[in-house]
Copies of this chain bind each other. A is one copy, B any other.
Amino acid sequence: MTFPLSPVDPDLDLVLERVIDVPADLVWKVWTTPEHLVHWFVPKPWTVTACEMDLRPGGVFSTTMRSPEGEEFPNSGCYLEVVPGERLIFTDTLLPGFRPAPAPFFTAGLFLTPQGDSTLYRAVAVHGDSAARQKHEEMGFHEGWGTVVGQMVDYIKAM
């Protein structure tokens, strides 16, 4: 189901799956347009202060997250696969141009399946070992990724 992403290994990976009542083409749009993504991508009151996308394998996907205290956290990676409306795979293990990254952590896959006007939304975080998975879980994967899906749905409905 997730090819070319590795099949999910419960010991290594994290999955968020939900049916959301917005259409897949709009989910794709807000995931692949910086002007839209900045409005929902991090749990409020955090904000996204910068975002760059070059939507092709090897192309940049970067965001800068800003804490309520004003501290900024830049993240840079690249896309690995882009199938419009269906599938987006990106990683922080490689910088743009496929250069090995200084602090590799995970690869992410977003999988969208239209269900009428709703969408089966599936986000997978793939890690290299169980310690990375656990760290990601303790960082609040489920709450965080769940919160931003809710923010995204609200944002789409208000578009």
Contact = CB atoms under 8 A, between A and B. Distances in A.
Interface string A93-108: 1111111111011110
Nearest to A58: B4
Interface residues of A, number: 33
Contacts of A6: 95-99
A85 to B, nearest CB: 19
Interface stretch (A23-31, A38-46, A63-71, A121-129): A121-129
A55 interface: no
Interface string A61-101: 00000000000000000001100000001010111111111
A16 interface: no
A114 to B, nearest CB: 24
B95 A100 contact: no
A101 B102 CA distance: 13
B5 A58 contact: yes
Interface of A: 3-7, 12, 56-59, 80-81, 89, 91, 93-102, 104-107, 126-129, 132
